[in-house]
Amino acid sequence: MDELRAAGGTDYVAMPLPFSDGQINTLTLTSDHADGFSIADLGQVFDSVPTLSRLYEVHTLRRNTSVLLDTYLGPRTGQRVLKGLTQRGDGENVRAVLWFCDLRDSTPMADTMPRDDFLKDLNLFFDCMAGAVSEYGGEVLRFIGDAVLAIFPLSEAAGEPSSGSIARACYNAIEAAREAERRLAEINAVRISSGEGALGYGIGLHVGEVTYGNIGTAERLEFTVIGAAANEAARIEGLCKTLDRPVLISGAFAKSFPESLLSVGRHALRGVDGEHEIF
């Protein structure tokens, strides 16, 4: 075959590459030999097709599975599931920066708008929020109706995460909130100019320990975060409407964030003991 590559000229051939599920793909080969492929060459390739089919099928399935898991679970979670964390109870306790956001007035929107228009607005909202989270290194774990639960992972190094690692994750979450605000402002400017109402939102940011793993039934699992910290992030977001603030931040987050934040006082969080300083 070295002689075939040494000469000039081009030629190509396409052969069917069947997969075990009946799908027929195509194997395309190119030769740089002046006379192209010989019958003997093609015979060798043809004899190799069954082996090549299995090889390409395995690689194709893994690639498609990886893309599918990344799309539906997020890259961090998807790769964990791909590596075999598929049993109920698989998981770990992690300290994390949590993001919870919600679209304002979505219930009346859903009740009064045509379905396609409402879904378009909902996806615009998700593009702003979830898109900003992804841009700054976060991972969306769940879309809960009109809400988004996301996590900003800390360092994967062994042991407790350093203060620097937590500060970086907090900084990324803040920058994501700023980017989400910028994106939504652009969309709202267009909406208002065309006579539509602006889309409102609330974002709650918190730092705490959560369980990151599989929950559900034996037949249907979900890889997500659970625990008091996740609930507190949702409760903090719930205060956004009450306090008329688009973004509210927990005291635990403020302690880990190197820049100063504006306190809006101490407030009770539904289902959480005591009062908590909110920023």
Classified as helix, coil or strand, 176 is helix
Exposure of 83 by Cβ count < 10 A (0-12 exposed, 13-18 middle, 19+ buried)? exposed
* DSSP class per residue in 61-105: HHHHHHHHHHHHH-HHHHHHHHTT--STT-EEEEEEEEEEEEETT
- List of residues 6+ apart from 233 with CB closer than 8 A: 98, 99, 100, 149, 204, 205, 206, 208, 250
In this structure, which long-range contacts are made by residues 215-223, counting pairs with CB atoms below 8 Å and at least 24 apart in sequence?
215/88, 216/88, 217/88, 218/88, 221/86, 221/88, 222/142, 223/73, 223/77, 223/80, 223/81, 223/85, 223/91, 223/141
User: In the chain, pLDDT over 90 holds for what percent of residues?
Assistant: 38
Residue 164 phi, psi dihedral angles, 5° rounding = -65, -40
Query: Does residue 89 have a pLDDT over 60?
Result: yes
pTM exceeds 0.75 for this model: no
When pLDDT is cut at 50, 70 and 90, the band that residue 82 belongs to is low
Query: Does residue 73 have a pLDDT over 60?
Result: yes
Among the ranges given (67-76, 103-112, 138-147, 159-168), the one the predictor scored with the smallest mean pLDDT: 67-76
Could you give the CA distance from residue 257 to residue 273 in angstroms, rounded to a whole number?
Answer: 24
